[in-house]
């Protein structure tokens, strides 16, 4: 059985989640899909560990968990100073897995594709800002460029739009794509102040230390833009209308809830139009999600309304999307091996 | 551009819906997918019309609508006495589209696959009873055997289980897959008798003249069995536990609704187990669908709960599934043309 070799770039929560799923479920994947996958390098902000034979993922996860950094990888192994671009250029791998949040990662993706490597990513900015260039290059070289985990974690909204409902023309997608704002809004609804709600979200690991991307609607706008690229055509992020939840007052939020139409940060995607805006939604309607649930309501000419709801965050849930794409890449590349 | 040629078997509501979508959206499909599709024969219970150059679908639909039967197809055309098996054997086509309800259609499907033809079907019994034989044969000959429209019309539950969530292991699928029973239950909840509710459903074209397959849970059991085949392994239909709604009393139905837990005909699919049973569901929970909406809640190891909700019936909605599969077949067969 041929092996598909991976370079993992980024070893935070998502990277470790991906390694954990690969480690735990590899025997299952071998049996079910007839593929074999090995990780030949992992890069965190401190170092790159590299073993062309295959890295022991269990040991890599434990090193990171116990020592906080891959540079403490055991004595018998080599630790390298390679940064992500050097990894792409110097390490022999079939597919690059970008699970960082690096805004300038497009250049790694482009370099990888130029060198005949596939790309799987959970990192939004490259897909938002350089979609056409990346996808065109990947298509011209018959390489996978996959990004299921960028929207709704592993809930398969991306591949549903790409591979399913092929006879339908999408008219509109409405959705709630940011769990942090939902969490904060629902906490305020039950009586907390904005500050308390934010703090609770941060303590629970839902909001980041700098929560502005979530609160200002940027994160939701990234996701909605990616859906527009897919459902219609690549749109310029500058054209996206973005309004976050930071200007809602606590009173407004509680009042709306009392009236049975709580606020949610709603994304609307139509041909040529992407809008992020706090909107009052019906309490029993599809958009009134809670917790870190995300939902997409897809309206098409034939199916009418199609609703996909699932986790929009979480380590295992995001790993589901990344590893699903790795399997998809393996199956497609195997045809040519 | 090569053409993919189709033989359509069955020209009731679904068959005409498929013809309508193919006719209306073909320019769009050509542009979007680079494929060309022509229908070379259509078979109804009275006759087969056949034109190797391509049938004018508009005229075929109008003939059927105005005269009730394809045997009245215009003078300048040939009308043939071919039955479905003869169509499969004698007409040159790349893919057979079975949109009948014929319980013995497996033999056409097998014959088509043996002759190197792909199969797209909305007809449940062949997929329920002969799944393994059909899929094994199709795989061994690298031919498409596609059946998205058998469950939840065009709502892409089948292809989601086949092509998405590749890293996940399904633990359970719960769902409501029969719109007729939902319609009747909700009508009874609002005060109608069982008889009145059934009559209304029949008048609205939701229930068939012989509604026993719906009321006894057979239709839902067919669908749940297909999901079991896909999510786990081919299961014997005899092992399926089936309980319909016909033994519920009107009082029970209304009482349950009053308590906030209305009855729905719920399907539960777990490894080695398929069960159809009227169950009380939470009014605001995912299974409390209304109208002809269907819903599937898929529980997996990584994603937790994933919910897919959409139309489970309707002409356009079913055509969406069949035509989506035709496009999928065209794209896969084009690689070999």
Mean pLDDT value of segment B134-161: 97
Closest Cβ–Cβ partner in A154, A302, A314 for B316: A302
B-chain residues near A23 (CB < 8 A): none
Tell whether B15 is in a known binding site.
yes
Closest CA relative to residue A128, chosen from A214, A212, A223, A217 = A223
Name the binding residues of A for L-homoserine: 208
Q: Residue A32 has what DSSP assignment? A: H
Q: How confident is the model at residue B336 (pLDDT cuts 50, 70, 90)?
A: low
Q: Do A160 and B164 touch (CB under 8 A)?
A: yes
Specify whether A18 is located in the same domain as A107.
yes
**Inter-chain touch A167–B25, beta carbons under 8 Å:** yes
pLDDT digits (tens, 9 = 90+) for A147-157: 999 999 999 99
Find the radius of gyration of the CA atoms of chain B.
Answer: 21
Reported ipTM: 0.96
Segment A289-293 shows an average pLDDT of 91
Q: Are residues A187 and A298 in the same domain?
A: yes
- Same domain membership, residue B217 and residue B149: no
Dist. CA B320–CA A166, nearest whole Å: 8
Is A175's Cβ below 8 Å from some Cβ in B?
no
* CA distance, residue B78 to nearest chain A CA (Å): 31
For residue A28, the chain B residues in CB contact (below 8 A) are 169
Give contacts of A165 with chain B, Cβ < 8 Å. Answer: 154, 156, 320, 324
Instruction: Give the pLDDT confidence score for residue B198 in this predicted structure.
Output: 95
pLDDT tens-digit readout, A18-35:
999 999 999 999 999 999
- Please say if the pLDDT value at position B23 is more than 70: yes
d(CA B140, CA A205): 49
Check whether residue A88 and residue A17 sit in a common domain.
Answer: yes
Q: How confident is the model at residue A207 (pLDDT cuts 50, 70, 90)?
A: confident
Give the residue from chain B lying closest to A323, CA to CA.
Answer: B167
Which among A155, A286, A323 has the least Cβ separation from residue B167?
A: A323
Higher pLDDT, B318 or B75: B318
For residue A336, the model assigns a pLDDT of 55
- Tell me what pLDDT residue A1 has: 62
Indicate the average pLDDT of chain A: 95
The pLDDT of residue B195 is: 95
| B55 and B16 within one domain | yes
Burial B77-113 (b: 16+ CB within 10 A, else e): bebbebebeebbeebebbbbbbbbeeeebbebbbbbb
The pLDDT assigned to A333 comes to 82
Q: Are strands B241-242 and B273-280 parallel, antiparallel or unpaired?
A: parallel
pLDDT at A208: 82
Average pLDDT over residues A95-105: 97
The residue-averaged pLDDT of B27-39 equals 94
- List, edge to edge, every strand of the sheet that includes B170-176: A241-242, A273-280, A263-270, A170-176, A293-300, A304-311, B304-311, B293-300, B170-176, B263-270, B273-280, B241-242
Q: Looking at the predicted structure, is the pLDDT value of residue B63 above 60?
A: yes
Q: Is B25 on the interface with A (CB under 8 A)?
A: yes
Q: Which of B33, B302, B310 to mutate to test the interface with A (most CBs of A within 10 A)?
A: B302
Chain A residues lying within 8 Å of B28, measured CB to CB: 169
Domain CATH code at residue B137: 3.40.50.720
Interchain contact, A316 vs B302, CB within 8 Å: yes
B10 belongs to an annotated ligand binding site: yes
Convert the pLDDT of each residue in B169-180 to its tens digit: 999 999 999 999
CB-based contact (8 Å) between B204 and chain A?
A: no
Residue B334 scores a pLDDT above 80: no
Average pLDDT over residues B181-194: 95
Q: Are B201 and B187 in contact (CB under 8 A)?
A: yes
Tell me if A150 sits within 8 A of A123, measured CB to CB.
yes
In percent, the amount of chain B with pLDDT more than 70 equals 99
Q: Chain A partners of B323 at a C-beta cutoff of 8 Å?
A: 166-167, 302
Q: Is A18 helix (H, G, I), strand (E, B) or coil?
A: helix
Torsion sign (Cα): A261, A267, A273, A277: positive
| Chain A residue numbers touching B328 (CB-CB < 8 A) | 166
Phi, psi of A222 (to 5 degrees): -55, -50
Regarding whether A294 and A321 lie in a shared domain, the answer is no
Chain B: closest CA distance from residue A295 (Å)? 9
Q: Say yes or no: B6 contacts chain A, CB-CB below 8 A.
A: no
Is the CB of residue B294 less than 8 Å away from at least one CB of chain A?
Answer: no
Mention every residue, 6+ apart, whose C-beta is less than 8 A from residue B258. none
In this complex, the residue of B284, B303, B304 whose CB is nearest that of residue A284 is B284
- CB proximity A208 to B under 8 Å: no
**B86 and B140 in one domain?**
yes
| Local structure of residue A171 (DSSP, 8 states) | E
Task: Measure in Å the smallest separation between the Cα of B23 and chain A Cα atoms.
Answer: 12
What is the distance in angstroms between the CA of the first residue and the CA of the last residue of chain A? 10
Q: Which residues of B253-265 are buried (b: 16+ CB within 10 A; e: fewer)?
A: bbebbeeebbbbb
Q: What is the pLDDT of residue A55?
A: 95
Kind of pairing between the strands at B273-280 and A241-242: unpaired
* B281 annotated as a binding-site residue: no
Poorest-confidence range of A269-278, B204-213, B305-314? B204-213
Residue of B164, B300, B317 lying closest to A303 (CB–CB): B317
**Contact criterion met (CB below 8 Å) for B8 and B119:** no
B155 — contact with chain A (CB < 8 Å)?
Answer: yes
**Does the CB of B85 have a partner CB in chain A at under 8 Å?**
no
Q: How far apart are CA A324 and CA A126, in angstroms?
A: 20
Q: What is the DSSP string of A278-307?
A: EEE--TTSTT---TTEEEEEEEETTTEEEE
Which among B160, B166, B323 is the nearest to A327, CB-wise? B166
Distance between start and end Cα atoms, chain B: 10
CATH number of domain containing A254: 3.30.360.10
**Quick check: A335 pLDDT over 70?**
no
The side-by-side arrangement of strands in the sheet containing A145-146 is: A79-80, A48-50, A36-43, A3-9, A95-98, A118-121, A145-146
Which of B152, B318, B11, B294 is CA-nearest to residue A167?
B318
Which of B306, B319, B321 comes nearest A155 by C-beta?
A: B306
Q: CA-CA distance, B300 to B171, in Å (whole number)? A: 5
A84 touches chain B (CB under 8 A): no
| Residue spans of alpha helices (H) in A115-193 | 124-129, 131-140, 157-163, 179-189
Q: Considering only A299-303, B62-66, B203-207, B289-293, which range has the smallest mean pLDDT? A: B203-207
CA A92 remoteness from chain centre: 25
CB A298 within 8 A of CB A175: no
Number of domains in chain B: 2
Residues A284 and A188 grouped into a single domain: yes
Q: Are B163 and A164 in contact (CB < 8 Å)?
A: yes
State the average pLDDT over residues A183-203: 94
The verdict on whether A107 is a catalytic residue reads no
The mean pLDDT value for A202-219 works out to: 91
Q: How is residue B112 written in tokens?
A: 């088509």
Write out the DSSP string of A182-205: HHHHHHHHTT--HHHHHHHHHHTT
Same domain, A200 and A277: yes
Is B235 in CB contact (< 8 Å) with chain A?
Answer: no
CA distances from B216 to A45, A119, B100 (A): 61, 50, 21
CB atoms within 10 A of CB A210: 9
Q: What are phi and psi of A215, to 5 degrees?
A: -65, -35
pLDDT in tens, B275-313: 999 999 999 899 999 988 999 999 999 999 999 999 999
Answer yes or no: is B63 a known binding residue.
Answer: no
Cα of A105 to nearest chain B Cα, Å = 25
A160/B156 CB distance under 8 A = yes
A155/B contact by beta carbon, under 8 A: yes
Confidence bin at B335 (pLDDT 50/70/90): low
Residues B294 and B320 in one domain: no
Using a CB–CB cutoff of 8 Å, tell me whether A309 touches chain B: yes
Distance CA A284, CA A289 (A): 9
Query: What's the DSSP call for residue A177?
Result: -
Tell whether B269 is in a known binding site. Answer: no
Q: What is the pLDDT of residue A95?
A: 98
Q: What is the mean pLDDT of chain B?
A: 95
Selecting among A64, A117, A216, A223, the annotated active-site residue is: A223
A119 backbone dihedrals φ, ψ, rounded to 5°? -135, 135
The one catalytic residue in B117, B223, B257, B280 is B223
In a shared domain, residues B92 and B48: yes
Q: Tell which of B25, B26, B164, B288 to mutate to test the A interface (max A CBs under 10 Å).
A: B164
Whether residue A154 and residue B166 make contact (CB cut-off 8 A), yes or no, is: no
| Residues A307 and A321 occupy one common structural domain | no
Distance from CA of A296 to the nearest CA of B (A): 10
Find the domain containing A60 and state its range: 3-153+316-334
pLDDT above 90 covers a percentage of chain B that reads 91
Judging contacts by C-beta atoms under 8 Å, the chain B residues touching residue A313 are: none
- In the block, which residue shows the tokens 């890295």? A55
The whole-number pLDDT of residue B1 equals 62
């Amino acid at each position: 059985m041929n092996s598909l070799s991976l370079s993992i770039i980024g070893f935070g929560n998502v990277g470790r989640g991906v390694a954990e799923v690969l480690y735990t479920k590899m025997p299952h994947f071998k049996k079910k899909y007839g593929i074999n996958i090995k990780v030949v390098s992992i890069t965190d902000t401190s170092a790159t560990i590299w073993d062309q034979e295959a890295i022991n993922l269990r040991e890599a996860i434990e090193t990171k968990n116990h020592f906080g950094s891959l540079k403490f990888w055991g004595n018998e192994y080599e630790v390298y100073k390679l940064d992500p671009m050097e990894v792409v250029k110097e390490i022999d791998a079939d597919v690059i897995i970008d699970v960082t949040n690096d805004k300038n990662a497009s250049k790694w993706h482009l370099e990888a594709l130029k060198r005949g490597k596939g790309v799987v990513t959970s990192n939004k900015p490259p897909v938002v800002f350089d979609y056409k260039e990346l996808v065109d290059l990947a298509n011209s070289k018959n390489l996978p460029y996959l990004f299921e985990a960028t929207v709704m974690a592993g809930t398969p909204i991306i591949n549903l739009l790409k591979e399913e409902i092929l006879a339908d023309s999408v008219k509109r997608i409405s959705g709630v794509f940011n769990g942090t704002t939902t969490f904060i809004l629902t906490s305020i609804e039950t009586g907390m102040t904005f500050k308390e709600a934010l703090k609770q979200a941060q303590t629970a690991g839902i909001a980041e230390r700098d929560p502005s991307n979530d609160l200002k609607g940027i994160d939701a706008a990234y996701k909605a833009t990616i859906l527009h690229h897919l459902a219609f055509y690549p749109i310029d992020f500058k054209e996206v209308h973005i309004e976050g939840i930071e200007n809602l007052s606590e009173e407004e939020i509680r009042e709306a809830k009392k009236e049975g139409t709580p606020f949610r940060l709603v994304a609307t995607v139509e041909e040529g139009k992407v809008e992020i805006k706090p909107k009052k939604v019906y309490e029993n309607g599809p958009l009134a999600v809670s917790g870190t649930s995300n939902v997409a309501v897809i309206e098409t000419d034939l199916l009418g309304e199609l609703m996909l709801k699932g986790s929009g965050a979480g380590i295992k849930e995001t790993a589901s999307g990344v590893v699903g794409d790795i399997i998809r890449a393996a199956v497609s590349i195997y045809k040519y091996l």
